[in-house]
A and B are shown apart, each in its own frame.
Chain A
């Protein structure tokens, strides 16, 4: 286990050390102490390493992650795991706005609640939130799966494309072009896997699926008020 005190050694040195790890590194386990809400912790990683952050993080923790597992034992600030490509980011506490924004792949698990715009513009990532999510979540979501064990706020899935949204609790309101959809066997299968991977205690059958009505895909003057 490599231990790194962020307060004394600084952000630059941390990210340089993590970027220096390659696919066959034997320094696979890293522990970061004293994060104290710092921004850009463990960003741009590209190696199969496990990074544990002992405390809360600021903006963009785990941003653009590839391959690595980043585990925050605390809450995360805005844009956690933004544009993640692969790997896994786990937040034990709550996550602020734009969690998983534009992420292309990998798995983001938030054990607490996520704030507004969770999964905004997501492009293939899987996101599992054990608690609730805020308004405008999955706005313009392109692909991937957003799973919410609690409730969703206003305007869920506004203008979304092909992402699947699964909510177990209530949805305050649906955004433009977002509708309730049938749960087919393949969706139950996706849910089963994601819930297991995210260590979430829920059954696939308890969820409702939402997705795009695909009415805004090509401009139509009769839908003008929805644009």
Chain B
């Protein structure tokens, strides 16, 4: 007798586990085969509450709008007005975030400088030191002071326009840097004073200070070296923004740079990127609260980053109380990163345009996150700079469009009262009323 399936009985369909999903299982298999965690570039890929969950109200009978193209809507911003004798004056409230030479090619750094300069804004060095390409092409250059101190030297301190002490990054608050051997070319190795081809670990903590009291003395030292001319920024990851902002102000910062979990990185463990730190939406109001309590809002400037893509994000960040934003990933995409024109090559690398994140391997088809000369040749810094400048200008126009619609003659006049939230989560995190109500979870005086 044969056991024939009885086609008359309905069968259960195959159901994939939501917990052990295919990507999760693939990662388990990868871990089992290699014994090493997944390292990648970019920011958090999971969906978290974000600026998309906020809307502007626009004008109405009680708020009248400004005429587009006729009535001015200013975008200028000055950073570092607290102690520095030479604050940074920018035409637009969008800056280029610190991205290391090593993770990016010299040509990509040049393009960032060119684009930022054309658009009237600043760019920032990164781990690995200052390159000539970048200094030469950046009208305003912020010099990062990182735990690794790779390439750190007093001459570059004196020729930068501001100093950014990096305490943390949104993608990895509490984590150091990584630059794997494939990307350690002769030039990168020399700048970092390390042998070629080895995996470089950048320290996660500064070697010569710990805690807010030391930081205050470190800031004093940097000011003394640079004659109190240059603004000192302190960059923090979205870990404890209320306390960190308070402590940075106490330590004497001119500017606080706050980076949320969506913020990109050159290379870090995926587990770190996806599980440590908070979304930028949840961080801004906490930082602004700290500034306001110390009567430092608009005196110590707040620059926020992490997943800023367009002018609407800029306008929302400013409305929540930031003075400016910084962009990393968006700038790289404008330069040509993850462009579908390289799809064939992404396929060969086992990925697809938009998902390519193995920047640490140095095989970037677009020639941006690489140190390989043949790939670097594909990238034209002049063209890249022009594209970045266009993108920055579009973002600015978009932010102005929204600000005018809300009746503001300066983008800084945008305020929380111009916003509503689409979800309860966003309402609670951004302290903005849920659309259609005058309430958010945790609003003072309410019982929720």
A79: contacting residue among B153, B181, B203, B209, CB under 8 A: B209
A140 on the interface (CB 8 Å rule)? Answer: yes
Given contact pairs A64-B225, A82-B208, A219-B199, A39 touches B217 in the complex (Cβ within 8 A): yes
In chain B, positions 204-220 with a C-beta closer than 8 Å to chain A are 207-209, 214, 217-218, 220
B221 on the interface (CB 8 Å rule)? Answer: yes
A98 on the interface (CB 8 Å rule)? Answer: yes
B299 on the interface (CB 8 Å rule)? Answer: no
Q: Is the CB of B198 within 8 A of A217?
A: yes
Residue ID in chain B nearest A99 by CB atoms: B208
Given contact pairs A142-B193, A217-B195, A217-B199, A12 touches B148 in the complex (Cβ within 8 A): no
Q: Is the CB of B221 within 8 A of A63?
A: yes
Distance from A104 Cβ to chain B, minimum over Cβ atoms (Å): 7
- Please name all residues of chain A whose beta carbon is closer than 8 Å to the beta carbon of B209 when the two chains form the complex: 78-79
Distance from B202 Cβ to chain A, minimum over Cβ atoms (Å): 9
- Please name all residues of chain A whose beta carbon is closer than 8 Å to the beta carbon of B195 when the two chains form the complex: 161-162, 217
A83: contacting residue among B153, B181, B224, CB under 8 A: B153
Q: Is the CB of A104 within 8 A of B36?
A: no
Q: Is the CB of A121 within 8 A of B207?
A: yes
B152 on the interface (CB 8 Å rule)? Answer: yes
Given contact pairs A121-B148, A121-B149, A219-B199, A60 touches B221 in the complex (Cβ within 8 A): yes
- Please name all residues of chain A whose beta carbon is closer than 8 Å to the beta carbon of B217 when the two chains form the complex: 39-40, 58-60
B214: contacting residue among A59, A83, A143, A159, CB under 8 A: A59
Residue ID in chain A nearest B223 by CB atoms: A40
Q: How far is the CA of A11 from the CA of B214 in the complex (A)?
A: 18
A1 on the interface (CB 8 Å rule)? Answer: no
Given contact pairs A15-B224, A218-B199, A60 touches B218 in the complex (Cβ within 8 A): yes
A85 on the interface (CB 8 Å rule)? Answer: yes
B227 on the interface (CB 8 Å rule)? Answer: yes
Residue ID in chain A nearest B228 by CB atoms: A12
B157 on the interface (CB 8 Å rule)? Answer: yes
Q: How far is the CA of A218 from the CA of B149 in the complex (A)?
A: 21
B201 on the interface (CB 8 Å rule)? Answer: yes
B394 on the interface (CB 8 Å rule)? Answer: no
Q: Is the CB of A66 within 8 A of B36?
A: no
**Overall SS of chain A's interface:** loop
Given contact pairs A85-B154, A162-B195, A40 touches B214 in the complex (Cβ within 8 A): no
Q: Is the CB of A44 within 8 A of B149?
A: no
Q: How far is the CA of A85 from the CA of B208 in the complex (A)?
A: 16
Residue ID in chain B nearest A46 by CB atoms: B154
Given contact pairs A121-B149, A221-B35, A101 touches B207 in the complex (Cβ within 8 A): yes
Q: Is the CB of B149 within 8 A of A102?
A: yes
Residue ID in chain B nearest A82 by CB atoms: B208
Distance from B108 Cβ to chain A, minimum over Cβ atoms (Å): 25
Distance from B183 Cβ to chain A, minimum over Cβ atoms (Å): 13
Q: Is the CB of B149 within 8 A of A11?
A: no
B226 on the interface (CB 8 Å rule)? Answer: yes
Best-buried of A46, A117, A139, A161 by chain B (most CB within 10 Å): A161
The range of chain B's interface size is 20 to 34
A19 on the interface (CB 8 Å rule)? Answer: yes
- Please name all residues of chain A whose beta carbon is closer than 8 Å to the beta carbon of B148 when the two chains form the complex: 121
A44: contacting residue among B154, B181, B203, CB under 8 A: B154
Residue ID in chain B nearest A161 by CB atoms: B194
- Please name all residues of chain A whose beta carbon is closer than 8 Å to the beta carbon of B207 when the two chains form the complex: 82, 98, 101-102, 117, 120-121, 139
Q: Is the CB of A159 within 8 A of B201?
A: yes
Q: How far is the CA of A19 from the CA of B180 in the complex (A)?
A: 39
- Please name all residues of chain A whose beta carbon is closer than 8 Å to the beta carbon of B153 when the two chains form the complex: 64, 83, 85, 104
In chain A, positions 128-172 with a C-beta closer than 8 Å to chain B are 139-140, 142-143, 159, 161-162
Distance from A42 Cβ to chain B, minimum over Cβ atoms (Å): 9
A43 on the interface (CB 8 Å rule)? Answer: yes
B208: contacting residue among A78, A142, A159, A162, CB under 8 A: A78
B17 on the interface (CB 8 Å rule)? Answer: no
Given contact pairs A59-B221, A102-B208, A217-B199, A64 touches B214 in the complex (Cβ within 8 A): no
Q: How far is the CA of A85 from the CA of B221 in the complex (A)?
A: 16
Given contact pairs A79-B208, A124-B193, A162-B195, A44 touches B224 in the complex (Cβ within 8 A): yes
- Please name all residues of chain A whose beta carbon is closer than 8 Å to the beta carbon of B154 when the two chains form the complex: 44, 46, 64, 66, 83, 85
Chain A 48-73, CB-CB to B under 8 Å as 1, else 0, gives: 00000000001110011010000000
Best-buried of B35, B181, B209 by chain A (most CB within 10 Å): B209
- Please name all residues of chain A whose beta carbon is closer than 8 Å to the beta carbon of B152 when the two chains form the complex: 83, 102
Supplied contacts A121-B207, A218-B198, 5 more A-B pairs, CB within 8 Å: A39-B220, A60-B221, A63-B225, A104-B153, A219-B180
A-B contact pairs, 30 of them (CB 8 A): A39-B217, A40-B220, A40-B224, A44-B158, A44-B224, A59-B214, A59-B218, A60-B217, A60-B221, A64-B154, A64-B225, A78-B208, A78-B214, A79-B208, A82-B207, A83-B152, A83-B154, A85-B154, A102-B149, A117-B207, A120-B207, A121-B148, A121-B149, A121-B207, A139-B207, A140-B201, A140-B203, A219-B180, A221-B34, A224-B35
Sort A-B residue pairs by CB-CB distance and give the 10 closest, nearest first.
A44-B225, A221-B35, A79-B208, A217-B198, A102-B149, A64-B154, A98-B208, A101-B208, A40-B221, A60-B221
Residues of A within 8 A of B (CB): 11-12, 15-16, 19, 39-40, 43-44, 46, 58-60, 63-64, 66, 78-79, 82-83, 85, 97-98, 101-102, 104, 117, 120-121, 123-124, 139-140, 142-143, 159, 161-162, 217-219, 221, 224
